[in-house]
Amino acid sequence: MLESEGDDARVQKMSKGYHKERPLWSIVQVEQSGIQEEMERIWESCKRMEDILQDLVDQNKVFLVVMELFTQGEHFLRTQEMGKLEGQKRWRVC
């Protein structure tokens, strides 16, 4: 390997394994960039999944509120139809 610093030039002897290691390092660098890209795709996928799960939670909350209102309305209609049970106080709706 030839290195130059200003007017001086030095020749450095390469180890015998250098030529064998060089392709391996190239493969490692390519693999690292591939792994980095895959990690970025996984991260984006996780963020999308988190958004989907949050939407499901929000939909379930809305469903629970609707079911509660439906149940209260059904109870109200039943009491209006049958009248007040003995011993119960009548609630006034404001």
Q: What is the pLDDT of residues 35-60, one digit of tens each?
A: 888 889 999 999 999 999 999 999 99
Q: How many domains, in total, are found in the chain?
A: 1
DSSP 54: H
Which H helix or E strand runs over 56?
Answer: helix 18-82
- Domain region containing 52: 14-78
Task: Classify residue 85: in a domain, yes or no.
Answer: no
| φ, ψ of residue 45 in degrees (nearest 5) | -60, -40
The predicted pLDDT at position 79 comes to 76
In a domain, 57, yes or no: yes
The answer to whether residue 30 scores a pLDDT higher than 50 is yes
Q: Is residue 94 part of a domain?
A: no
3-state secondary structure 5-53: ECCEEEECCCCCCHHHHHHHHHHHHHHHHHHHHHHHHHHHHHHHHHHHH
Q: Between 32 and 68, where is the model more confident? A: 68
